[in-house]
Structure 1
Amino acid sequence: MDGFPIEIVLALIGVAVPISAFLWEFVVVGRRRLGYRVQMDTPVTGEIESVFPGVLTRLRPESPDSATDLKDLSVVLVRIENSGATTIDTSDYQTLDNGRAGLHVHFPQRRVIGMAVTELSHPGLAECLDARSGIAHRWIASASCGVIDLPKVPLNRGDHYKVLAILQRHGRAGADAEPELRGGIKGGRLLETRSRTGAPRAMVLLVGFLVLVIAAQLVVGVVRGDRPPRGCVAGELTVVGSSALRPVIQDAAQRYRAECRDLRFAFAFEGTERGLDRLTRAASTDGTLIAIGDNPIGANYPKLDRRSLAVAVFTVVTHPELDLPSLTTAQLRDIYAGRVTDWSELGGPPLPVVLVERAPGSGTRAVFEQRVLGGSQPAVPHTSCLAIQGRELAGPTRCTAEVTGDLLQTVRNTRGAIGYSEFGEATRAGLRTPALNGVAPDRQAALAGRYELWGIEFAYSYGGAPPGSPAAAFLRYLTDEAGSDVLRAHGTEPCRDLPNPARCGESG
């Protein structure tokens, strides 16, 4: 029973029972329902005699053939209402004859002296209850019962009307019997409703049941609280490599830790090549060290095992004031070859071109050289980007940034600067990202082959991550589990989601 998903079963029960109760109440039995409620049944004889002595002996019913004195009177107010979930039409009343009456209110041992309709939920019901509708009262001598015949009144959901009757007790003294509504509704039922002054019993039972389900889930959670989810491992995992992938990897690690608290992470994002060098030097086979890279340069590291993660979109970035909506591949090659030295040559402002590059060995640089420049750049002297930030430069300049964060900061703080980085990081830095050959940086455009600057994110381990190790667990999370959602949220496309996952093995 250790792997039995009891929490899921409890959750399903907690959802199924309210839904079933709703369907039963409002679809099965409550779809068409006519309710009635006796809102008042009060004797009036004693009160009238005390205020007006002898008045009842002088009153007579309106009928000329009756000589009965008015005594033992009571007033009854009956509410008729559509308490179901659908409309009740005239054809929905069940009757054995073709008469106009659809309902009958019986008053055992009491005669109906007079009656009136006192309240309508809307004025349109008036013509259904006028003198021509068939509403009447009568006396059934064989049963000693007064009856009010009510017409077949069409009622929308929630509609109601009230009937006030003056009754006189007939026969033996004692407590008056309760009035009773008789009739039938096709596909439904008649029922006595109650005033909604308290919580219905069914609602109390349903709430109590849900409380029990929640309590059971809490108990199960406490009992299993110390057990890590299946697939979790304990220990420490160090992740090194591409600085362009730092945000997505750290985000994935944080979410993994929310489920698997016993795995600790350490990070050193100093560039793809440095990460691969560190992994090779450590020669660690215990699955506690992995490297992340954004270009398949692992061919120079034969002892490393490579696993593809996602397709990443890269972009050219420029200073916020450098408004160049689009650049072509040919223009970028001229810029990085030194043939364009001032932005005015491309229709921009009169500013010298400042090339901000990543150091050789960077995966992002390798992607840019391969996809845009068509090969490696010639060796030229480089200046540290920290030395030129914020300066007004008199001529074209080229500097080198060790990590993505330094490149983005230099481009943001240096007028006329241009560089390249992972697209998600560039947008978060607030830099301009001009289109490439007229196509804006976009994941779907890259997958469709219309946008050229893209690469593959890879994870490397020394000789393969052994089963049950921290590296194997985290890599499985990235490729097969919720980590794919993290990759997607950062603008990349997980390899597992591609129509042709083999494309993630491409190097060009």
Structure 2
Amino acid sequence: MDFLRWEIVLAVLGVVVPIAAALYEFIVVGRKRLGYRVQMDTTATEAVHSRYAGALQQLQDGDGTRLVDPSFVLLRIENNGATHIDTDDYAVLPDDKVGIRVRFPGRRVAGLVVTELSDSFLRPCFNEDSGLSVRDGVIELPKVPLNRAAHYKVLAALERTEEDGVPGDNGEAFPEPEIVGGIKGGVGNGGVQETESRTGASRQVIALIVFLVLVVLGQLAVSLADDETPAPLDCATGRLTLTGSTAFRDVLVDAAASYRKTCPGSDFRFATEGSGQGLRTLDAAGRDKKAAGMLAFTDGAKGDGYPQLLPRPLAFSLFTMVVNKEAGVQDLSLRQIRDVYAGRVTNWEELGGNDMPVRLVGRFSTSGSRKTFQRHVLDGRQEPPYSSDNCRERAAGAAEQGPLRCERNSTGEVLDAVAGTPGALGYSGLGEASGRRDLLLLSIDGRRAGLEGADYGAYPFWETEYAHTYGEPEAGSLAASFLRYLTNEVGKDVIRSHGHRPCAELQNPVLCRPVARETQTEASAPAG
């Protein structure tokens, strides 16, 4: 269950424990509380004889008897609660003037004096009729009203007595004093609690700090160990197969990797074997009720024959002609390119290049890139027939007339064949060809592949990239979510990084065509 995740548990503990500690401190512990502290308990006997001991060696009782092993005790009585203490709060009978009695096992109190008052108005609380006295060797302290943090101190002189089980003169320490007294409604049983010096942090504060540090370290460890990034609302999980255009494959690979980082529960499979094959694969999967996890991408519109497939324009894509470096050409006109593919030019020397035969590398008939090339560059004409397996010599049985032409299954295979075959000429998506240094990108009529040139009709080799679904995908499906991702800011950045232009950035995103082509369409429309 999500609400029991460790980071949530630790966060709750980090909030609840300090609040509980504060409530305990100020509501429970902070009630009426009377405390005491022994600030000094030392003997007056000398460990090393000194002639300067003076009066300390002559300490006497009231009757002139010298004290036996005299000692001094400084006792602090304080209100360390959150509420003031009144005379009626002492847990004694109303007519008893004594609020606290202090006994020292093994010792008898020989005399005392009040040495310090936190407030001068406490002085009348210790007059002769207040109850302050020493009775049977026990200190009796009056019922002193104390505001918050108020205190007083008592200095007492004591001497050792002979009691069974109590240390004598063998150097052992005397037992702690016994405090008899209490506060009505006080903390715990209302007894007088021993307090500690506040020169440093208390054990409770140190324990709370250590706990909070452990909580923070625990949250850090959990966050570092947890690979699951919380997904945004538009994320979807499952598996999605991306098929179709090989020219658009690199865009899909990068976009899928970016989507997975945002939505870790998603998985993508790539089966790009050409636009036509992608359409057939999606259509067949739809008829078998298995198309919910599949998208097909094509270079250009789907054409006729797939009534169940719904197209969505994604990008205005650029293509380029590519040529082997040994051909000795970098720019051809549309007329020259058409002459080459028509067989009217068979050697590059005829076009001002090197003395080398022209070898054409094309795509299979199902390729969207091939259809784009034939439609926009060859003006609707077909490429020459297949005549070579290795792109260098004619295959057995191939016609001797016409240009030598081989076919490859993907954009990457075309680029490899052109780069490795002297005099080879082919075509590719601009993004895939741009990173190659082993071949040349051919200019057409002096124009290299570019969005601006294509947008205004100066560069002819472009196409609209479509994504296809079999019917409308469910809104919460991975297919629908990934399509939305391709059209949002991150997806558009990926498309743009591969040299394409997102349809949303064009003048008419629905048609996703260059400005010049839209103008031509409007001009040729019949008048109404």
| TM-score bracket relative to the smaller structure | 0.5 to 0.7
Give per-residue Cα distances to partners, 1:390-419, cap 9 Å, x unaligned.
xxx9x9511111111111111000000000
The answer on 1:415 being equivalent to 2:422 is: yes
Deviation at 1:293, TM superposition (A): 0.9
> Which of 402, 405, 419 does residue 398 from structure 1 map onto?
405
**Other-structure match for 1:360:** 365
2:433 partner amino acid:
A
- Verify the 8 A CA contact 1:342 1:396 in the aligned structure 2: no
Of 279-288 and 227-236, the range deviating more from structure 2: 279-288
**Using the alignment, how far apart are the partners of 1:278 and 1:416 within structure 2?**
35
What does residue 162 of structure 1 align with? none
1:316/1:420 contact within 8 Å kept: yes
Residue among 374, 377, 387 paired with 1:372: 377
Cα distance per residue 1:5-60 (max 9 Å; x no partner): xxxxxxxxxxxxxxxxxxxxxxxxxxxxxxxxxxxxxxxxxxxxxxxxxxxxxxxx
CA RMSD across the alignment: 3.1
Partner of 2:235: 232
In structure 1, the gaps of 5 or more residues are 3-213
**Residue 253 of structure 1 corresponds to which residue in structure 2?**
256
Q: Select 1:264's aligned residue among 259, 267, 270.
A: 267
1:287 and 2:287 are equivalent in the alignment: no
Q: Which residue of 1 aligns with 2:475?
A: 467
**Percent identical:** 41
Secondary structure at 1:332 match in 2? helix
SS across alignment from 1:435: strand
Q: 1:387 to 1:474 in 2, by over 3 A?
A: farther
Larger Rg: 2
Give, in angstroms, the shift of residue 321 of structure 1.
Answer: 2.3
Structure-2 change in CA distance of 1:386 and 1:379 (3 Å): closer
Equivalent position SS for 1:382: coil
Q: SS where residue 383 of structure 1 aligns?
A: coil
Distance in 1 of aligned mates of 2:329 and 2:487? 37
Tell me how far apart the structure 2 counterparts of residues 231 and 385 of structure 1 sit (CA, whole Å). 48
For residue 499 of structure 1, what is the aligned residue in structure 2? 507
Q: 1:285–1:462: 8 Å Cα contact kept in structure 2?
A: no
How many residue pairs end up in the alignment?
294
TM-score (norm 1): 0.53
Structure 2 contact 244–298 (Cα < 8 Å) conserved: yes
Q: Which residue of 2 aligns with 1:302?
A: 307
The Cα shift of 1:322 comes to 2.3
Aligned partner of 1:351 in structure 2 is 356
Q: 1:253 to 1:385 in 2, by over 3 A?
A: farther
Note the alpha carbon deviations across 1:410-463, whole angstroms, 9 max, x for none. 100000000011112112122211211111111222123221111111111111
What's the secondary structure of 1:349's corresponding residue?
coil
Structure 2 CA distance for aligned equivalents of residues 386 and 261 of structure 1: 44
Q: Which runs of 5+ in 2 are unaligned?
A: 4-215, 395-399, 522-528
Distance in 2, matches of 1:288 and 1:350, equals: 52
Q: Secondary structure at the match of 1:300?
A: coil
Q: Which residue of 2 aligns with 1:439?
A: 447
Aligned to 2:339: 334
Aligned pairs for 1:81-480 within 5 A: 227-283=230-286, 284=289, 287-377=292-382, 380-385=385-390, 396-430=403-437, 431-480=439-488
Q: Tell me the amino acid that sits aligned with residue 325 of structure 1.
A: Q
Compared with structure 1, are the counterparts of its residues 280 and 487 closer, same or farther at alpha carbon in structure 2 (3 Å cutoff)? same
The residue type paired with residue 432 of structure 1 is L
**In 1, Cα distance between the equivalents of 2:393 and 2:481?**
43
Report if aligned partners of 2:229, 2:262 keep a CA contact under 8 Å in 1. no
- The SS at the match of 1:384 is coil
